[in-house]
Amino acid sequence: MLKFIIFLSVLTTLFLVTNINGFLFSKHAKCQISVYKGGKDFSGEKIMANKSFVPYLKSIGAVAKGCKVRVHVIDSYKQLKTPTEYVLSSQMPLALGRGIHFNLQGPKGSTVCNNLCMTTRSWRTLPEAACFIDNVQKKGVKFTEPNLLHDGYTTQLSTSELEALKVATQKLCAPKTKGAKG
Ligand SMILES: *[C@@H]1O[C@H](CO)[C@@H](O)[C@H](O)[C@H]1NC(C)=O
Sign, CA dihedral 153-157-160-161, equals negative
Query: Model-level pTM?
Result: 0.83
pLDDT of residue 173: 97
Q: How far is the CA of 51 from the centre of ligand 1 (A)?
A: 7
* CATH number of this structure's domain 33-173: 3.30.1380
Distances (CA, A) of 104 to 46, 59, 133, 182: 15, 16, 10, 39
Q: 95-154: per-residue pLDDT in tens?
A: 999 999 999 999 999 999 999 999 999 999 999 999 999 999 999 999 999 999 999 999
- For the stretch 82-111, pLDDT in tens is 999 999 989 999 999 999 999 999 999 999
C-alpha 72 – ligand 1 centre gap (Å): 24
Kindly state if the Cβ of 169 falls inside 6 Å of ligand 1.
yes
Point out the ligand 1 atom lying closest to the alpha carbon of residue 50. 1
The domains of the chain are located at 33-173
In this structure, which residue's CA is closest to atom 14 in ligand 1? 96
Span from the CA of 175 to the centroid of ligand 1 (angstroms) = 18
